[in-house]
Structure 1
Amino acid sequence: MERQKGLKLNKITIAILIIVVFHIVGLIGFFIPALQPLFLKIVPFHLLLMLAVIIYSHEARSFKFLIFFIVVFVLGLLVEWVGVHEHVIFGRYVYGKTLGIKLSDIPLMIGVNWFLLVYSAGVLVQWSPFKNPFIKVVLGAAVLVLLDMVIEPVAVRFDYWAWLSAGSYLTAPLKNYVDWFLVSLAMLVVFELFQFKKQSQVAAVLMLTQFVFFILMRWA
């Protein structure tokens, strides 16, 4: 039993170290102008690494976990497709080159990113003192809106995406944050419906690390 607890702790420690170290490396790369083009190219690989860490750290991996990933991945792509092509969600925007390979103008990595965000927020609120599912999903959605507010200036600057109006690049409209809250709320309801047992702190650390990373990236 003690050995199992030790292995579990070691697994959590390894996952957290990978998250923190690779975000620090990313910050260093973006703060050195000569390295920025290289680090922009590896953004999709960074997201895939974070996905691998989350899968590695998830307790009781099962077919249910795979289904959850697929559901959020597909929903994320569909929401973004509607946003980009129909402009009824988030506002008028287009994706740049930084997130990599696109399908119908939507980077496949955005589906991965939606999963990472929703899962991390869902696990973060598992560690909150609130037990009511409604309060948890509202809190989680609020956290994701705050993160989006931090990300937006960095994302536009580094060609993750751009906001458009009459052909001009603009900052994110208020509609973006309202829709982010509603979409995040719906995705977190899905998380709650899957009823995952309380997870380790790894995903919560990823969420908090992203806050620190993108706040610091404003000065890159």
Structure 2
Amino acid sequence: MGFSAYEDWFKALVPFNLLLTNTLLFLFHRGWTRSFWLFAFTAWWVGMAFEWVGVHTGLMFGEYVYGPTLGLKLWEVPVLIGVNWLMLVYASGHVVQKVASHWLVKSVLGAAHMVLLDYFIEPVAVRFDFWSWHAEAIPFSNFIGWFLVALLLQVYFHRSSFLKDNPMAPWVFLVQLLFFAGLSFMV
């Protein structure tokens, strides 16, 4: 994306890439229990709800609007944003799973991982029209809001009683981090 003359083609594939990444990630999930499905639906819904509040009020993240790159929108929020929240909570939750034993420590670390990733996502997202900020600068409130929403979802992830042993999850997180970190230095 950063070097190609086919930028529009790559941008058109962003929704497909996000769905493919989620498919690969969840093919390795074990334990499709009711608890897992409730977590998955809640993570998607909470992500969508906070993004809706953010887009319509500027609360939580700052004032921004979504561009066309992420595809189909529901009330001005791309449906895939909820999918992205689910993927990032799940993958970062797995990354910190063995680092600490207490759920609160894991939750704070998982939320911090998500904010680290968002730090690199933001300039890439703006450059490739995933979304844009009204002030043309990424507000610090975005990172605070991301941490708070991520912490809420990380607490739910770590307190839920489904199997958290997905060998693909840390790799998905790492690939996302490397991809966006690499592109963020080019934009």
Would the aligned equivalents of 2:91 and 2:169 in 1 still touch at CA under 8 Å? yes
2:102 maps to 1:132: yes
- Structure 2's unaligned 5+ residue stretches are none
Distance in 1 between residues matched to 2:166 and 2:39, nearest whole Å: 18
Question: What is aligned with 2:13?
Answer: 42
Residue 159 of structure 1 aligns to a residue in which SS? coil
State the shift of 1:171 in Å: 2.0
- Conserved 8 A contact 2:65-2:131: yes
- Greater fraction helix: 1
* Residues 1:64 and 2:35 are matched in the alignment: yes
> Aligned residue pairs: how many?
186
AA aligned to 1:199 is: D
- Which runs of 4 or more aligned residues in structure 1 lie more than 6 Å from their structure 2 counterparts after TM superposition? none
User: C-alpha distance in 2, partners of 1:65/1:200?
Assistant: 13
1:1-220 → structure 2 map (5 Å cutoff): 30-128=1-99, 130-165=100-135, 170-218=136-184, 219=186
Say whether the 8 Å CA contact 1:163–1:171 is kept in structure 2.
yes
1:62 to partner: Cα distance? 2.4
Q: CA deviation at 1:32?
A: 4.1
| CA distance in structure 2 between the partners assigned to 1:152 and 1:32 by the alignment | 19
Deviation of 1:33 (Å): 2.6
Q: Distance in 1 between matches of 2:181 and 2:163?
A: 31
Q: 1:151 corresponds to which letter in structure 2?
A: I
- Give the Cα–Cα distance (whole angstroms) in 2 for the partners of residues 195 and 159 of structure 1: 38
Output one character per residue of 1:85-113: Cα deviation in whole Å (capped at 9) or x when no partner: 01111000000111000011000000000
**In 2, distance between residues paired with 1:69 and 1:200?**
14
CA, structure 1 residues 54+92, in 2 after alignment: closer, same or farther (shift >3 Å)?
A: same
Secondary structure, aligned partner of 2:113? helix
Stretches of structure 1 that go unaligned for 5 or more consecutive residues are: 1-29
8 Å contact from structure 1 (residues 101, 107) kept in 2: yes
Preserved contact between residue 35 and residue 162 of structure 2 (Cα < 8 Å): no
Task: Compare CA radii of gyration and give the structure with the larger one.
Answer: 1
